[in-house]
Amino acid sequence: MLLPIFLLSAAGFTVLTTEFIIVGLLPSIARDLHVTIPQAGLLVTLFAFTVAAFGPFLTAWFARVERRKLFISVLVMFGLANTLAALAPNIWVMAVARLIPALGLPVFWALASETAVDIVGPQFAGRAIARIGFGIVCATVFGIPVGTLISDAFGWRSAFAILAVIAFAKALLLFIYLPKTDLHQHQVSLRSQFKILHSPLMQGHVLLSILVFSGMFTAYTYLADILERLAGFDGTLVGWCLMGFGAVGLLGNSLGGRAVDRHPLIASMVFCLFMIGGMVALVPSIHSTLGLAAALGIWGVTQAALFLVSHVRLMKAAPQAPAFAASLNIAGANLGIGLGAMVGGRVIDTLGLGKVGFAAAGFILVSILLALLLMAFKPPAACMQR
């Protein structure tokens, strides 16, 4: 049973890499398609807003589809979309190429863990979900820098073309090796799941995810551009910097997993505090090798930790509907990603590239204040029992 789980994990890597790979390619895409960096950054916003707007509804709708057929269809769709991106002659075709996979990402992400448990049985549920999560974490850790290195060596179109081939190959492997699974007969109704949004506490948790991811991606969307223009690095060196940023994220993922089990909101606040330090210190230390490495390291550890902490925090906030809560985190996170990319682009246009870290830190500071409010909030006993 390990092979199907591994393939789902590998498919998750491809799906999430498709979303985030563009971060490292923005400078090259902007130059080739004759648009500004902030305009190219709107491709990140388009993808994220599409996930946020349609994710929970599409996940609930496609939950009735047989999983093997669903995941293969999603990967084929991703392969076609990445092929279109590789061939895009202008920013408008590129926008279509980004819109299509954004519809499939939340469906895959929200249902893959459930399917893994169906395959191995509940007695191995923890291990199965951990393996699916590893593929997703690796996408955020290695997908962007590897794509950047490929882009520097062969052009940004090659990065999308290779990703398309990988998506088609994984669809074929799932067709061969992924067994069919029975649909759940006792799923909670969509109406019942949406009831958790009536809770002010749950609304606060979703807002917290929006703020955290807005802060992350106000700066992270333009990290490659910061390293190129302010540090003076070439594409290869930018790729290796992003690789290091991702590599320390493995440590952040481990630390986040331990901290969130103790107290999700305290974990959020602690990692947010350290993230502010890394973001604010980046530009002032841009010409110091040690200082730049330290700033990127702190930022990389905390960003990876907050990916995991935010996901688990939402699921713990709604134990009666954890899968739907996870989809709400995906929607909230992507809304934040889209907002962050827009705000970062606006800051670059008005204040300059060197100020995006401070704007990002502002979002993170507000998220810390919100976490403090959520810790003080005491929901009625009746709501907790329900």
pLDDT in tens, the chain (386 residues): 677 788 888 888 899 899 888 888 888 999 999 999 888 888 988 998 898 888 888 877 887 788 889 999 999 999 999 999 999 999 999 999 999 999 998 888 878 866 776 676 655 555 566 677 677 777 766 777 788 889 888 999 999 999 999 999 999 999 988 877 665 544 556 666 677 778 888 889 999 999 999 999 999 989 988 999 998 888 788 888 888 888 888 788 778 877 877 888 999 999 999 999 999 999 999 999 899 999 999 999 999 889 888 877 887 787 777 667 777 888 898 889 889 988 998 999 999 999 999 999 999 999 999 999 998 876 554 344 44
Asked if 215 and 278 touch (Cβ cutoff 8 Å), the reply is no
Q: Which of 116, 146, 178 is the last residue of a domain?
A: 178
Q: How many domains does the chain have?
A: 2
Domain contains 284: yes
Residues 292 and 205 in one domain: yes
Q: Which residue range is the domain that position 346 belongs to? A: 199-375
Residues 81 and 22 in one domain: yes
Q: Which of 178, 212, 247 is the last residue of a domain?
A: 178
Residues 233 and 362 in one domain: yes
Residues 159 and 302 in one domain: no
Residues 35 and 172 in one domain: yes
Domain contains 386: no
Domain contains 185: no
CATH number at residue 243: 1.20.1250.20
Domain contains 354: yes
Residues 228 and 342 in one domain: yes
Domain contains 383: no
Residues 273 and 143 in one domain: no
- Residue 153's Cα: distance from chain center in Å? 25
User: Looking at residue 61, what is its pLDDT?
Assistant: 80
Residue 369's nearest CA partner among 200, 198, 211, 206 is: 211
Residues 163 and 249 in one domain: no
Domain contains 203: yes
Enter the tokens of residue 297.
């390291």
Residues 121 and 236 in one domain: no
Residues 172 and 203 in one domain: no
- Determine the longest span between alpha carbons in the chain, in angstroms: 60
Asked if 141 and 251 touch (Cβ cutoff 8 Å), the reply is no
Residues 116 and 232 in one domain: no
Residues 130 and 260 in one domain: no
Residue 253's nearest CA partner among 298, 326, 304, 312 is: 304
